[in-house]
Amino acid sequence: MSLNNLTSIEAVSGRACVLRGDDIDTDRIIPARFMKDITFDAMGEHLFEDARKAAKGNHPLDDERFLGSEILVVGKNFGCGSSREHAPQALMRYGFRAFVGESFADIFEGNCCSLGLVCITLSERDAEALRESVELDPEQVVSIDVSAETVTCRAGALSGNIPKGTRDRLIKGHWNATSLLLEAEGAIDRTAEGLPYVSGY
């Protein structure tokens, strides 16, 4: 394989959904009882299940204006709590490809990167401008430029932040650990051949 087979993520564009509130933890994103499944395939079906039931149809994910959104706009400390990978898996399988917020829990953000999902932070003022813009015009396209670290919407081009290591992994395609292993297959084989406890048996 060549490096061209690594999937670079340089930008994400799509309609957005606004989920207001801070400290939304992974147990709210995907309740723990759904972690018994041996695959992630059905996780999206249970995204925010308890919160949606409690909201009785008034949860943003049940708002027809936001159906089909690929970008989720959140508040502070999104994805806190348990470090379970199930949370970003559920979000991805529901259809989200990127998240814009004021801050993210570190492990959640790392798990997102490992799935090729973009997390970008904005200042409190710009995040609120984005939320208000999307709520006023849910049909607009919101665009995230990973390299430039910007979020563009009807409110304008907003300057954001993606940690350099994360940004490099996304742009170079190194977020995909499987592709990296396949890319290094020849080097791995050569190393294995030189190890007596591998090649001597």
Q: Which domains does the chain have, with CATH numbers?
A: 3-199 (3.20.19.10)
Edge-first strand order for the sheet with 156-159 is 11-14, 142-145, 150-153, 156-159
pLDDT in tens, 187-200: 666 766 777 776 66
What pLDDT, on a 0 to 100 scale, did the predictor assign at position 4?
A: 45
CA–CA separation, 2 and 99 (whole Å): 30
Region 84-104: what's the mean pLDDT?
A: 96
Is residue 192 exposed (0-12), middle (13-18) or buried (19+ Cβ within 10 Å)?
exposed
Q: What is the pLDDT of residue 3?
A: 41
| Sequence-ordered list of residues with C-beta below 8 angstroms from that of 135, at least 6 positions apart, any chain | 18
Mean pLDDT of 88-95: 96
C-alpha distance from residue 35 to each of 39, 84, 104, 121, 165 (Å):
9, 9, 22, 28, 30
* Averaged pLDDT for residues 54-60: 96
What is the distance of C-alpha 66 from the center of its chain? 17
Global confidence as pTM: 0.86
**Residue 148 scores a pLDDT above 90:** yes
Question: Residue 44 carries which side chain, given as an amino acid letter?
Answer: G
Which amino acid is present at 16?
Answer: A
Predicted pLDDT at 149: 98
Mean pLDDT of 151-158: 97
CA distances for 167 relative to 10, 78, 102, 151, 198, angstroms: 9, 19, 17, 14, 36
